[in-house]
Structure 1
Amino acid sequence: MKKLTTDFRLIIGLLLAHVLMYFTFQDKAVFWYIFTASLLFLISYSILNEEVEDQLSFFSYILYGALSGILLYGIFWVGNSLFELLNLPFTKEISKLYGRYSPTLLWHYIVLILIAVPGEEIFWRGFVQKRLLKFTSIPAGIFLSSILYASVHLYSTHWILAFAAFIAGIYWGFLYSWKKSMPLVIVSHLLFDLLLFLIFPFY
């Protein structure tokens, strides 16, 4: 743990992520503008400080990415269906999240595809998780990076968003550790988001 606390690039990166995401969630009216700028900055910081891995062929990462994205959407769909079946209060929170942060304009979807999804994966899996794994076991590194990924979503004041980020972080963290392919997790994340927001939204 002592060595981990001396990884100043990781610590600075996490501090920057928290500051940027704090301001990102402050005002719904400018969310997509600040979110875009924040992810562009974090992409730049990650690429300057860590190499991006890609150990799969184009066909392999498209296939694994698509299948894993569909599977994760299915897991979330089952969870949402159970919330509705049991009439849990979480359904109202999910509905609020859709109304507050879902992409609604064409440029939102362009940002989602080209900046937001790649940015989150490059920073949280390709930078944070990869650096953590230099000091911890694979399960511990995936778990800790997922906790950190979830923590910045708490600024939204919707704990269900942070919980969803934690579950997704575990899932994509495992994929990245298993296949060592950034394009794979980007495709998985992208298809998941498109299913969630555009193709088969819950609300």
Structure 2
Amino acid sequence: MKKLTTDIRLIIGFVLAHILMYFTFQDKAVFWYIFTASLLFLISYAILNEELEDQVPFSSFIMYGAVSGFALFGVFWLGNSLIELLNLPFSKEISKLYSRLSPSLLWHYIVLILVIIPGEEIFWRGFVQKRVLKHINIPIGIILSSILYASVHFYATHWILAFAALIAGIYWGILYAWKKSMPLVIVSHLIFDLFLFVILPFY
């Protein structure tokens, strides 16, 4: 743990992520512009400071990625269905999130697929989690990395987004630690987001 707190590259990357995400969530009107620019910067930082892993053949990472992405969406769909069934107040929070952050223009979907999804995985799993796991064991490292990932989502002022990020972060963190394939987790994230925003959106 002591070595973890002295990992300067990790600390700088995490601080930069917080600064960038703080500004990203400040204004809905420029959200997609700032989010895209932030992820491009974090991708560059991650690639310069950590080697990405890809230990799974193309056909396998496509299959595992698609199945795992669909499975995670299924978990979220069940959770949302339960919230609606029990008429819990979280339903309004989810509705507000969709209206504020969902892609609405063609270029939003393009940058979501080409920049934002790969960027989040490259930085948070390929850089943050990988560096964390150099210093502590895998289960604790995945949880800690996922908490760090979730922490930047609090700037959206909707706690349920941070909670969703925590669950998804743990899921993709386990997947990356298990298969050691960045393309696999990117595909998983892509399939999840396609269902969440395009195929079966909750709102």
Bin for the TM-score computed over the shorter chain: over 0.9
User: What corresponds to 2:32 in structure 1?
Assistant: 32
- Alpha-carbon distance in structure 2 between the residues aligned to 1:54 and 1:70: 21
- TM-score, L = length of structure 2: 1.00
- Count of residue correspondences: 203
User: What corresponds to 2:126 in structure 1?
Assistant: 126
Which segments of 5 or more consecutive residues in structure 2 lack a partner in the other structure? none
- Alpha-carbon distance in structure 1 between the residues aligned to 2:202 and 2:122: 27
Q: CA deviation at 1:200?
A: 0.6
User: What corresponds to 2:101 in structure 1?
Assistant: 101
Q: What is the 5 A alignment of 1:137-152?
A: 137-152=137-152
SS of alignment partner, residue 202 of structure 2: coil
User: What corresponds to 1:201 in structure 2?
Assistant: 201
- TM-score, L = length of structure 1: 1.00
User: What corresponds to 1:76 in structure 2?
Assistant: 76
- Alpha-carbon distance in structure 2 between the residues aligned to 1:74 and 1:85: 16
Q: What is the 5 A alignment of 1:1-203?
A: 1-203=1-203
- Alpha-carbon distance in structure 1 between the residues aligned to 2:6 and 2:195: 40
Q: CA deviation at 1:6?
A: 1.2
Aligned identity (percent) is 80
- Alpha-carbon distance in structure 2 between the residues aligned to 1:199 and 1:107: 18
Which segments of 5 or more consecutive residues in structure 1 lack a partner in the other structure? none
Runs of 4+ in 1 over 3 A off after TM superposition: none
**What per-residue deviation string (whole Å, max 9, x for no partner) do you get for residues 148-197 of structure 1?**
00000000000000000000000000000000000000000001001000
